[in-house]
Amino acid sequence: MRHLTKALGGTALALALAVPAIASAQDGDTGIADEIVVTAQKRSQTLIDVPQSVSVVSGATLERQGATGFADYLKNVPSLQLVQGTPGQGRLVLRGINTGGVASTVAVYVDETPFGSSTALANASELAGDFDSFDVARIEVLRGPQGTLYGASSLGGLLKFVTNEPSTAGFEAKLLGGVEFTDGGDASYRGAAMINVPLGETLAFRASGSYRKQGGTIDSIGTAGSNVRSNINDFENYGGRASLLWKPGANLSVRLSALFQNLYVDAPGVVEADPATLKPLYGGLTQSEYLPTFSNVKYRLYNGTIAYDFGPATLTSATSYGEQLQSFRADYTANLSPVLGTYVYFDQLTESRKLTQELRLASNGGDFLEWMIGGYYTHEKARIFQNLQTAVPGTPGVLTPIDLPYDLAVFNLASRYKEIAAFANATLHLAPWFDIDLGGRYSHNSQRADQVTDGVLLGAAVIDDVRSSDNVFTWSVAPKIKFGGQASLYARVAKGYRPGGPNVIPIGSPPGTPRTFEPDTVTSYEIGFKGDTADRTASIEAALYHIDWTNIQLAAVVNGFGVNVNGASARVDGAEIAATLRPAKGFTTSIGFTFTDARLGGDTDPLAVGAVKGDRLPFTPRYNVNFNADYQWELGSGVTASIGGSIRSLSRQSGGFDPAYLAAFGHFPRVKAYEVIDLRAGIDFGRYMLSAYANNLTNSGGVTSTQALLGVAGLPRNVNGALGTGVVRPRTIGVNATVEF
């Protein structure tokens, strides 16, 4: 959350598809798609049996496409958007549920572990966990609210990483190496390794590690006296996973897992653009760098999952602990040097530590009734620390702090979040052709926040023990008609929610400034059809939906501090169609079409937010088309070749809500339509595999985020008349080589 976001006088102090997945796996020998089983509803189900919209991207698809992060999944998942400028700082959006607030609307899980903060006091929406996808079995995406099984902050849906389990079947190992080249940027390198070791008949260990060095593409060209330096936005991403699986008998399973990942980013991936047209200034991708900056993000996840099969039912316990730590430095010289007469930079530390425990008992099938009951507990501690400082001018690329006898601005916010919930789900098989799925969840959360400010620009103040609590009931009802084993028609009505919380703001704020903000909720109405042919050579998935979003949470500025406020409402009307055709052995084509009309249902505060009834929700294109085609054929005994390509086309979008930009231009930023074309090819020798890809073949300059330059909130232009924008990475050509043992 950006807490320090306003001006001093008239100057700114801004501190602060595996498409459709019904049949997306294919047997290379027969050309017939395998039936896919998913666990996103916390039990194993075939996709055609899940009464809601689901996409699955297999690990093989991710590897073939050279995928490494969220930006690479977009062409595979209808209705999924990523608002991102800098790696590690991304906002996931599903079905248009987005207002630019600071609390997440899409839940992210790694197996049984929820990732990211549940509260709006730790920047959860902008720090979605972008995990490396090497050795991932699949990614499951559930569209629509998931409040019944996944609780808070799943208004738009769920993205779940399912990792490969250790196996006692035999020793396995894999090595991957890759290199890629980007137009106008430095070369990038990638390496990864996996090992699976049986430790007996009942025990196995699996571990993987990855490293990626991505070259920068943005230059600082000396504008207004800034540094002259090329490709300043390079980054490193490395991490690993380890898992131990013990199955002493047919009934008991114990799995212990650990994950760590570090992202070290130099300059932000923000380009100076003309604020009216959003086209990059100065003939290329540039920003004005006066001081070196960075953004470091660290993930730590630990999980222990125990499952015992009693026969009629299975008891599962999942205990998790996660840490998300971010430290970053922003260069505010372009905005504040006219006021302070020197170089200015801003440091921020964001910490979130979260303990969760889930216990659930689920029936093992049933002719008439399948059921699940469970309980959930989470305890989270979070902290945001911000500090505005000055540095010595005239030292390009070097930061030499000025030792002042006083602080300019210091802000510290510590918060705690506790939640306890009980949930239940049941599927009634009322006839061989008719089921109805029912779910409910009751959640109670309590929060506490303490704030300390200091410095000549803010004043010394302590505000402690600000509290809030919520009690929320979410539910879902989903009847389904089955047409044999190949098709189903379903309807789903579901409610989701996002917790409210305390607003900690400085003493002297205007009367009526809210000390707390309320939860917001969505109610989704969906009807859909899933079907495939008997030989699975053709399949289709289609859905129509309407979403009512009430009491929406918005980011606003009050007395110079960023706070959360509740708006009136929003509505989303949409349609999704995903079809796959396999007309010949080895040849697969798929197309996904999404229509989304997401608009505000009421006016917001004209000074704090500025949006009015009828405004489109940010970064939600009205139309989105994904097309994928792949062909695989045999070159000889044990050798297979493949070629493929993807097109992702997005219509015009609205940029983020920004009252200052609105005042300057009479509208919010307008993002033009764009297309991204990717090509790929590979040759598989069985043990060895070589793949090549060309992403963003036409060098699309599509805008992926809008923000004030260098992350400064509420300011549409810096002294050079520029708006900060994120853009699609320029044309990138790469090669990966893999060897298996």
Give dist(CA 443, CA 206) in Å, integer: 36
What pLDDT, in 10s, does the model give residues 487-533?
999 999 999 999 999 987 766 676 667 788 899 999 999 999 999 99
Separation in Å, CA 540 to CA 96, 234, 528, 591, 594 = 23, 41, 10, 10, 14
In the chain, helix, strand, coil percent, each to 5?
5, 55, 35
What pLDDT, in 10s, does the model give residues 630-647?
999 999 888 999 999 999
Give dist(CA 73, CA 549) in Å, integer: 26
Cβ-based burial of 350 (10 A; exposed 0-12, middle 13-18, buried ≥19): buried
- Which amino acid is located at 134 in the chain? F
Q: Is 155 left (phi over 0), alpha (psi -120 to 50) or beta?
A: alpha
Residue 664's pLDDT band (cuts 50, 70, 90): confident
Give one DSSP letter per residue of 577-593, joined into a string: EEEEEEEETTEEEEEEE
In 3D space, the residue among 49, 143, 42, 147 whose CA is nearest the CA of residue 480 turns out to be 49
Rg of the chain on CA atoms, in Å: 25
Q: Of 73-87, 235-249, 691-705, where does mean pLDDT reach its minimum?
A: 73-87
Is 709:721 a contact under the CB 8 Å cutoff?
A: no
The tokens for 306 are 């125990």
Give dist(CA 365, CA 44) in Å, integer: 10
In 3D space, the residue among 503, 505, 511, 501 whose CA is nearest the CA of residue 461 turns out to be 505
Angle at 73 between CA 67 and CA 77, to 5 degrees: 150
Q: What is the mean pLDDT of the chain?
A: 88
User: Length of the chain in residues, anyone?
Assistant: 741
- Cα distance between the two ends of the chain: 47
What pLDDT, in 10s, does the model give residues 252-271?
999 999 999 999 999 999 99
The tokens for 563 are 């706070």
Is 77:54 a contact under the CB 8 Å cutoff?
A: no
In the chain, where the domains are located: 5-740
Q: Of 10-14, 309-313, 526-530, where does mean pLDDT reach its minimum?
A: 10-14
What pLDDT, in 10s, does the model give residues 272-300?
999 889 999 888 999 989 999 999 999 99
Q: Three-state DSSP class for 225?
A: helix
| pLDDT beyond 90 at 162 | yes
Percentage, residues of the chain above pLDDT 90:
65
What pLDDT, in 10s, does the model give residues 340-384?
888 899 999 999 999 999 999 999 988 899 999 999 999 999 999
Specify the DSSP element, H or E, that contains 724: strand 723-727
Indicate the Cα dihedral angle 28, 34, 39, 44, nearest 10°: -140
Indicate the Cα dihedral angle 645, 648, 649, 653, nearest 10°: -160
Residue 401 per-residue DSSP state: B
Averaged pLDDT, 702-723: 61
Q: What does the H/E/C string look like for 247-264?
A: CCCCCEEEEEEEEEEEEE
The tokens for 710 are 């260098």
What pLDDT, in 10s, does the model give residues 51-87?
999 999 999 888 888 888 888 888 889 899 999 988 8
- Give strand pairing partners of 631: 587, 643
Residue 20's pLDDT band (cuts 50, 70, 90): very low
Averaged pLDDT, 406-418: 91
Residue 120's pLDDT band (cuts 50, 70, 90): confident
| pLDDT beyond 50 at 717 | no
Separation in Å, CA 435 to CA 367, 461, 478, 485, 534 = 11, 59, 8, 13, 22
The tokens for 547 are 């979403």
Residue 8's pLDDT band (cuts 50, 70, 90): very low
What pLDDT, in 10s, does the model give residues 168-224?
999 999 999 999 999 999 999 999 999 999 999 999 999 999 999 999 999 999 888
Strand bridging mode 569-584 / 587-600: antiparallel
- pTM, to two decimals: 0.91
Residue 254 backbone phi and psi in degrees, to 5: -130, 125
Give dist(CA 654, CA 570) in Å, integer: 15
Is 375:318 a contact under the CB 8 Å cutoff?
A: no
Is 640:631 a contact under the CB 8 Å cutoff?
A: no
Residue 395's pLDDT band (cuts 50, 70, 90): low
Instruction: Choose between 563 and 94: higher pLDDT.
Output: 94
Indicate the Cα dihedral angle 57, 58, 59, 63, nearest 10°: -70
Give dist(CA 292, CA 395) in Å, integer: 10
CATH superfamily of the 5-740 domain = TonB-dependent receptor, beta-barrel domain (2.40.170.20)
pLDDT in the model for residue 460 = 87
pLDDT in the model for residue 200 = 93
| pLDDT beyond 80 at 452 | yes
Give dist(CA 353, CA 321) in Å, integer: 7
Angle at 496 between CA 495 and CA 497, to 5 degrees: 135
Q: What is the strand order of the sheet 136-143 is part of?
A: 54-58, 136-143, 157-163, 106-110, 113-115
Separation in Å, CA 393 to CA 321, 345, 467 = 44, 12, 43
Specify the DSSP element, H or E, that contains 266: none
What pLDDT, in 10s, does the model give residues 559-606?
667 778 888 899 999 999 999 999 999 999 999 999 999 999 999 888
pLDDT in the model for residue 613 = 93
Give dist(CA 177, CA 224) in Å, integer: 41
Instruction: Choose between 399 and 527: higher pLDDT.
Output: 527
Is 64:620 a contact under the CB 8 Å cutoff?
A: no
pLDDT in the model for residue 559 = 66
In 3D space, the residue among 538, 459, 471, 439 whose CA is nearest the CA of residue 505 turns out to be 459
Indicate the Cα dihedral angle 503, 504, 507, 509, nearest 10°: -30
pLDDT in the model for residue 516 = 87
Separation in Å, CA 179 to CA 190, 196, 215, 654, 732 = 6, 25, 11, 35, 10
Longest dimension (CA), the chain: 78
Specify the DSSP element, H or E, that contains 370: strand 369-391
pLDDT in the model for residue 31 = 45
| pLDDT beyond 80 at 30 | no
Give dist(CA 96, CA 108) in Å, integer: 17
Give dist(CA 349, CA 53) in Å, integer: 37
Give dist(CA 430, CA 433) in Å, integer: 8
Instruction: Choose between 395 and 599: higher pLDDT.
Output: 599
Give dist(CA 256, CA 113) in Å, integer: 12
